[in-house]
């Protein structure tokens, strides 16, 4: 927040000061955007508390929520840049902290703001608004009320996703939010299937052309198709078996075509979708091998040993690792395994279904994934973690990083308190 600049106006006359005050009152619409200029400021102020220095935790939480309320209000201002900053601040706050009670009391307001920004905004603003909407449902969990809210929002998300005139970034965010919200809040499986069909229409543009050539798209379109396929694969993990049987004959033979696309992320997501198909089909038919297995394995093995120098070294490494796991699933019936620790707990990723679910939540929450795994009842139910664990305070000093962040937060809080006290001083002669 900018420091008070009264010191620069010591030589101004009383009349000038009154004029400045009137101008400030008339320009009150820009106040919201000015003091939320940094999206990370909200979460930084409430991240750590310096109890030893006399700073009350409840006061810090109130300050955090007050700033979040201001950011929500700021999404309605006229300035497009200001709305983007406020949306980014709301997104950062909902990622970093689990705020179920706060969001539950303002869910309609936040979703209305997000809907307005998707309708009237462009590009980055639409993407941020869609992300915020998804985080609202992730914070609330499921339930009938969430289903009603999603039914009101999904038409707009579907329309934006199908709009070729909208920016690829906005459409990709809508695809991700559609998949996430349908996974959480869709009570009717027909709605899930309808959304999966919408997503299919998007990423199918990367299938081979009629003459067998690979379609050429911009990086933005590749990212859109990757987001649509990722959301579609997430919903595939909860789709009924009858639907899986149906799309096996319509999609299974075409998914390998995406392995020829230049974009490495789209290739990996396509490969994981193929592995998920095998996993789901073998739950009912252990002998399922699919058609053209030898050709498919040939393509997968080529990608698992790809050493083309024109690809980035990190991309080659990630691709080889992913496709080795995919081949192992198809040939050896072995699912990938990964143990993810957070605090004193851990979750085991032992299937492609769970891997896709965790990947989508991690992408949506970014660095806040561990906090939500500890506290978010929805995620704990999805990953069979049980009720949240109550942490008992201990006297250990903690890591150097934790101490540094703790001291930085304490210093910032002390500075804010002292600044307020300095502003109230009177001259003594």
- For domain 36-187, give the CATH number: 1.25.10
- The pLDDT, as a whole number, for residue 161 is 96
How far separated are the first and last CA of the chain, in Å rounded? 32
- The pLDDT, as a whole number, for residue 40 is 52
Question: Mean pLDDT throughout 103-124?
Answer: 94
Query: Which candidate, 129, 135, 124, places its Cα nearest to that of 95?
Result: 135
- CA dist 247 and 400 (Å) reads 52
List, for residues 221-253, the tens digit of each pLDDT value.
Answer: 999 999 999 999 999 999 988 888 888 777 888
DSSP-assigned states of every residue in 362-386? HHHHGGGHHHHHHH-HHHHHHTT--
Q: φ, ψ for residue 92 (rounded to 5)?
A: -65, -40
Name the pTM for this structure: 0.79
Q: Per mean pLDDT, which of 143-147, 230-234, 300-304 is the most reliable?
A: 230-234
- The pLDDT, as a whole number, for residue 396 is 52
Q: What angle do CA 350, 176, 130 make, to 5 degrees?
A: 140
Average model confidence (pLDDT) for the chain?
83
- CA dist 362 and 48 (Å) reads 22
In sequence order, the β-bridge partners of residue 347 are 340
Whether 326 and 306 have beta carbons less than 8 Å apart is answered as no
List, for residues 381-425, the tens digit of each pLDDT value.
Answer: 999 998 887 765 444 555 677 777 777 887 777 777 666 666 555
Q: CB 69: neighbour CB atoms within 10 A? A: 14
Long-range (24+ apart) CB contacts under 8 A made by 22-31 are 29/77, 29/78, 30/77, 30/79, 30/82
List, for residues 349-362, the tens digit of each pLDDT value.
Answer: 999 999 999 999 99
Burial per residue of 277-287, b for 16 or more beta-carbon CB atoms within 10 angstroms, e otherwise:
bbbbbeeeeee
């Amino acid at each position: 927040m900018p420091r008070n600049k009264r010191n620069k106006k010591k030589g101004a006359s009383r009349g000038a000061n009154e004029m400045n005050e009137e101008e400030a009152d008339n320009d009150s619409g820009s106040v919201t955007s000015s003091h939320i200029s940094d999206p990370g400021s909200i979460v930084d102020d409430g991240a750590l508390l310096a109890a030893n220095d006399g700073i009350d935790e409840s006061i810090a939480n109130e300050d955090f929520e007050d700033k979040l309320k201001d950011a929500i209000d700021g999404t309605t201002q006229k300035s497009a840049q200001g709305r983007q900053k406020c949306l980014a601040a709301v997104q950062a706050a909902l990622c970093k902290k689990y705020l179920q009670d706060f969001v539950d009391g303002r869910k309609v307001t936040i979703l209305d703001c997000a809907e307005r920004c998707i309708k009237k905004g462009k590009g980055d603003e639409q993407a941020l608004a869609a992300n915020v909407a998804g985080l609202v449902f992730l914070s609330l969990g499921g339930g009938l009320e969430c289903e009603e809210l999603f039914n009101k929002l999904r038409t707009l998300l579907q329309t934006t996703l199908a709009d070729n005139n909208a920016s690829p970034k906005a459409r990709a965010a809508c695809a991700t939010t559609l998949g996430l919200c349908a996974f959480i809040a869709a009570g009717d499986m027909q709605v899930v299937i309808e959304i999966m069909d919408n997503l299919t229409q998007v990423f199918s543009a990367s299938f081979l052309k009629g003459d067998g050539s690979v379609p050429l798209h911009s990086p933005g379109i590749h990212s859109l198709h990757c987001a649509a396929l990722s959301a579609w694969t997430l919903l595939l993990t909860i789709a009924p078996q009858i639907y899986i049987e149906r799309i096996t004959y319509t999609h299974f033979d075409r998914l390998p075509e995406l392995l020829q696309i230049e974009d490495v992320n789209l290739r990996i997501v396509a490969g994981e979708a193929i592995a998920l198909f095998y996993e789901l089909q073998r739950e009912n038919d252990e002998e399922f091998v699919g058609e053209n297995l030898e050709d498919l394995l040939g393509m997968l093995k080529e990608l698992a040993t790809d050493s083309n120098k024109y690809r980035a070294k990190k991309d080659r490494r990630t691709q080889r690792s992913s496709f080795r796991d995919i081949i192992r699933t198809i040939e050896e019936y072995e699912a990938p395994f990964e143990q993810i620790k957070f605090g004193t707990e851990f979750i085991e990723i032992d299937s492609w279904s769970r891997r896709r679910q965790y990947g989508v939540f991690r992408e949506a929450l970014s660095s806040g994934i561990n906090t939500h795994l500890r506290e978010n009842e929805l995620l704990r139910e999805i990953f069979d973690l049980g009720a949240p664990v109550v942490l008992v305070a201990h006297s250990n000093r903690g890591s150097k990083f934790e101490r540094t962040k703790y001291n930085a937060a304490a210093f910032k809080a002390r500075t804010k308190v002292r600044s307020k006290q300095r502003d109230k001083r009177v001259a003594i002669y």
